Amino acid sequence: MHKFLFVALLGISFFTFGQTENCRITYSGQVIDIHDQESVPYARVQIKELNQTVMADSNGFFSFANLCPGDYSFNCFHHIGCEPEKFKRTISKDLFEQVFIEFHFDELDEVTVEYTIFKMSTISVLKPSELEKRFSAGKTLGDLVKQIPGVNSLNTGSSISKPVIHGMHSNRVLVLNNGVRQEGQQWGSEHAPEIDPFLMSEVCLIRGASAVRYGSDAIAGVILTNPKKLFYEPGVRGEAYATAFSNGRQGSISTMLEGSFKKLKGFSWRTQGTFKQGGTLQAPRYYLKNTAMKEYNFSLNAKYEHERWGAEVFYSQFNTDLGIFSAAHIGNLTDLNKAFLADKPLEEGSFTYQIDKPKQHIEHEFFKASGFYNLNSKNRLVFQYGRQYNLREEYDRHVVFNDSIAALNLPAFQLTLLTHTADLKWEHQWLKNLTGEIGISYLKQGNNYQGRFFVPNFGKQSIGMYWLEVLKMKEYELEIGVRADRSDLNVYMYENKVLQNYEHIFQNISGSIGASRKISHHWVIRANAGTAWRAPSINELYSNGLHHGAAAIEIGNRAMKKELAINFQAGLTFKSRKLNALVDVYHNEIQGFINLKPTLPPMLTIKGAFPVFRYEQINARFSGVDLSLRYNPTTSLSVFMKGSMVRAFDKTNQYFVVGIPADRVEPGVDYKLQLKKDQKMTFHLAIPLVRTQDRVEANSDYVAPPKGYVLVNAQIAYEFKIREQNVDISLEANNLLNQSYRDYLNRFRYFSDEIGRNIALKIKVPFNIKKHEKNSEQK
């Protein structure tokens, strides 16, 4: 009997020990919002069989430890009070995955439902809403980001647009394309970022402490553009996006196809392409001669992720041909001064798709290879390499009388820029609430010109190192960062037929500190202060001649020093079910601000007569306020208003800085109508109001600032499902009343009005190849 009991107990012990040995599995992951692809902080994940619930951290990460092998049912709650996402998993070994969940609510996309725990940030991270992204679809990056308060667009004619943040643009605005610093000839006012807007799923503006991690040029801010994250659910899916615009009879189509394989878990791929063509654009009273354009782009993307490591490759090409407004290129001083005073261009055109001289041809090739390796649950290494090739050809209007030379159809001048970048960073977690990263970045760049001189050949190398730490507590968040950079510029140019080499070395240390605090359930206050700097760009140092695309003569100064900025910013955010409000104020002191200033009178050259602009270095002060409000009296109706105001003063010469955006405010209303379960309509009306820019010294520009204006923009969108696929159709009108106006930030305001009414039809249709499920059940 005793022997029997001993054997039984021994057997039970071995069985229990075996179970204990196997019950050491860890199931972990990150909760991702399927709409904006962002992590969901403090989401709750529950295992029904064990009645065990864990809360994700501030970055959406969660973990269940000591699980036994078996089948489990999971509930994932976006926030308290919402319906959970339900899914099943068969657990046999350690598993990490992204869990995609949907935020269910009955308000518009921009409205944020009251959260139990409020997400804080020390920095100002602003994004266009889904409605605003839809309204800007088929347009440029500048048109999209100017939907954000405090952002305007610097235009050259009607087809070239680049972002202006708090009155600053070009080399003071850093653009990261898919995690890589975008490098083209961005110094030019008419050199827009070479990025396909259809490829961008995420676009956001970062201002504040975290900007130090991105580079030395982020004085105004950083614009992040990223494609949609790759999914790993087996199957193939895609979408087609088509647009048609009445003004210029422009049309575009963009298609995307992506997928992953059931037998190759962790691997995903995507291919995408865009074609766009438009003809002569039209102002309310006349055609804008030679404003046709053509654009064709494509991209390829592949990624593999394992439990501890992952790798990704991305390749894209951007190609465009742009006509330059002919009436801005004038043959003599008499006609130029006459054009300045005229209310219509001296030269009008008719509709055509043909692109004549003057024109631009731009090619941009982009390659990225990146990878990560998880050292453990709290440490990760991330590496990234980028290669970019940029070709810019500019053809002037000047007639070549030698037939053999004319037959070659060579550009007036050509710039080729080759850039290599490499980045390595260590992401770490010192304590439960203390995370950070330490990184190093390297850039090597070479520029070559052919034809007429504007900027010389040069080679550039730069290296930067940064350290950033973030402390996140329940009621507050603190972020501190420091960065050191060095840039070496070697310039090669002929002077008096002798090749000269000039070397410029710039280096500096920048730092920032930011803090935010949750005042109550709805309120968060934040503030940050920091220093920033940038080295003068090649055109600011050495440009000397006709800048063809801008139709202006620009003169640099090789004695330019680096810009040094001290930035202060504070903000207040309120969020509830009915009201969203954001107010940001800022003040920047910039020593050695490099300003492109009109220098009267204009100059006559063999290419024609052009206004003259000269780079000068001053001490400047930039201050302003950005405002965004949205009120939801009902679940269907939303009233909004956004606005911005910037003041820039030249402290050296004691007058206002030229080229600063005028005050603007944009009220509007959105209304959503639920037709059936899977059908809804959205009505959008916005009325931008822009003041006259009266903070300009008398006789300091060739033409006085234009009068302020009021526009009416409207959109109707219809969403429905076909075979469980969401289809979007929208009809919209820009400048609905066909208002004649000129914008102060358009360099061609000297010669013409902005384009008139533009009616657009947009259709987005998914490929019904295989339905994509957010969290498919695994059996």
**Paired tokens of 286:** 């006349």
Name the CATH superfamily housing domain 110-223.
TonB-dependent receptor, plug domain (2.170.130.10)
pLDDT at 248: 94
Question: How remote is the C-alpha of 469 from its chain's centroid?
Answer: 24
Beta carbons of 274 and 298 less than 8 angstroms apart = yes
pLDDT at 1: 47
What phi and psi values does residue 92 have, to the nearest 5 degrees?
Answer: -130, -15
pLDDT band, residue 11 (cuts 50/70/90): very low
CA separation (Å) from 121 to 153, 425, 518?
27, 22, 10
Poorest-pLDDT segment among 616-620, 723-727, 754-758? 723-727
Beta carbons of 757 and 246 less than 8 angstroms apart = yes
**Paired tokens of 390:** 């940029």
* AA letter at 557: N
Beta carbons of 697 and 705 less than 8 angstroms apart = no
CA separation (Å) from 661 to 568, 696, 702?
20, 11, 17
Is the pLDDT at 462 greater than 90? The verdict is yes
More confident residue, 506 or 327: 506
Is the pLDDT at 156 greater than 70? The verdict is no
Give 622's strand partners. 588, 648
Q: Architecture of domain 2-103 in CATH?
A: Sandwich (2.60)
Q: Exposure of 402 by Cβ count < 10 A (0-12 exposed, 13-18 middle, 19+ buried)? A: exposed
Minimal CA–CA distance to 343: which of 358, 359, 327? 327
Poorest-pLDDT segment among 96-105, 372-381, 443-452, 662-671? 96-105
Q: Which residues contact 317 (CB under 8 A, 6 or more apart)?
A: 297, 298, 299, 363, 364, 365, 366
Give 255's strand partners. 240, 273
User: For every residue of 189-250, which 3-state class applies, written as one string?
Assistant: CCCCCCCCHHHCCEEEEEECHHHHHCCCCCCCEEEEEECCCCCCCCEEEEEEEEEEECCCCE
pLDDT at 698: 87
Is the pLDDT at 758 greater than 80? The verdict is yes
Handedness of CA 652, 658, 659, 664 (dihedral sign): positive
pLDDT band, residue 404 (cuts 50/70/90): low
What three-state secondary structure class fits 172?
Answer: helix
d(CA 643, CA 664): 6
Q: Which residues contact 719 (CB under 8 A, 6 or more apart)?
A: 679, 680, 681, 682, 726, 727, 728, 729
Q: Exposure of 203 by Cβ count < 10 A (0-12 exposed, 13-18 middle, 19+ buried)? A: buried
pLDDT at 669: 95
What phi and psi values does residue 659 have, to the nearest 5 degrees?
Answer: 75, 30
Is the pLDDT at 769 greater than 80? The verdict is no
pLDDT band, residue 188 (cuts 50/70/90): low
Q: Which helix (H) or strand (E) segment is 21 a member of?
A: helix 2-22
Beta carbons of 311 and 293 less than 8 angstroms apart = no
DSSP 111: -
pLDDT at 328: 86
pLDDT digits 0-9 by tens, 467-519: 999 998 878 889 999 999 999 999 999 988 899 999 999 999 999 998 989 88
pLDDT at 774: 44
How many percent of the chain have pLDDT more than 70?
A: 87
* AA letter at 643: G
DSSP 330: B
pLDDT band, residue 613 (cuts 50/70/90): very high
**Paired tokens of 264:** 């190759």
pLDDT at 307: 79
pLDDT digits 0-9 by tens, 254-307: 999 999 888 888 899 999 999 999 999 999 999 999 999 999 999 999 999 887
d(CA 166, CA 586): 9
Name residue, tokens 């405090």: 150
Minimal CA–CA distance to 397: which of 261, 548, 259? 548
pLDDT at 127: 64
d(CA 126, CA 361): 33
pLDDT at 779: 38
Helix and strand numbers (H, E) in the chain are: 6, 46
Task: Characterize the bridge pairing of strands 95-101 and 70-77.
Answer: unpaired
Question: How remote is the C-alpha of 353 from its chain's centroid?
Answer: 30
Region 98-116: mean pLDDT is 42
Q: Degrees (nearest 5) of the Cα angle 250, 252, 258?
A: 170
More confident residue, 399 or 364: 364
Is the pLDDT at 744 greater than 90? The verdict is yes
Is the pLDDT at 333 greater than 70? The verdict is yes
Is the pLDDT at 87 greater than 90? The verdict is no
Is the pLDDT at 57 greater than 80? The verdict is no
User: For every residue of 443-460, which 3-state class applies, written as one string?
Assistant: EEEEEEEEECCCCCEEEE
* AA letter at 176: L
Q: Which helix (H) or strand (E) segment is 650 a member of?
A: strand 637-650
Minimal CA–CA distance to 748: which of 158, 153, 354, 142? 158
Give 264's strand partners. 261
d(CA 721, CA 706): 47
The radius of gyration computed from the CA coordinates of the chain, to the nearest angstrom, equals: 28
CB 744: neighbour CB atoms within 10 A?
22
pLDDT at 133: 63
Poorest-pLDDT segment among 116-120, 146-150, 316-320, 667-671? 116-120
d(CA 668, CA 311): 44
Beta carbons of 325 and 157 less than 8 angstroms apart = yes
pLDDT band, residue 770 (cuts 50/70/90): low
pLDDT at 214: 84
d(CA 135, CA 130): 9
Is the pLDDT at 211 greater than 90? The verdict is no
Q: Exposure of 5 by Cβ count < 10 A (0-12 exposed, 13-18 middle, 19+ buried)? A: exposed
**Paired tokens of 104:** 């269910």
d(CA 217, CA 445): 16
How many percent of the chain have pLDDT more than 90?
A: 48
d(CA 527, CA 128): 22
Task: Characterize the bridge pairing of strands 612-631 and 552-555.
Answer: parallel
Is the pLDDT at 119 greater than 50? The verdict is no
CA separation (Å) from 696 to 77, 657, 706?
55, 7, 11
* AA letter at 627: L
pLDDT at 132: 63
pLDDT band, residue 398 (cuts 50/70/90): low
d(CA 133, CA 694): 32
More confident residue, 21 or 513: 513
**Paired tokens of 73:** 């049912």
pLDDT at 406: 58
d(CA 114, CA 632): 13
More confident residue, 723 or 591: 591
Give 333's strand partners. none
d(CA 622, CA 94): 53
Is the pLDDT at 249 greater than 60? The verdict is yes
Q: Domain ranges in the chain?
A: 2-103, 110-223, 224-778
pLDDT at 123: 52
Is the pLDDT at 115 greater than 60? The verdict is no
Q: Please tell me the CATH code under which domain 224-778 is placed.
A: 2.40.170.20
pLDDT band, residue 405 (cuts 50/70/90): low
pLDDT at 621: 96
Mean of all residue pLDDT scores within the chain:
84
Q: How much is the pTM?
A: 0.81
Beta carbons of 501 and 494 less than 8 angstroms apart = no
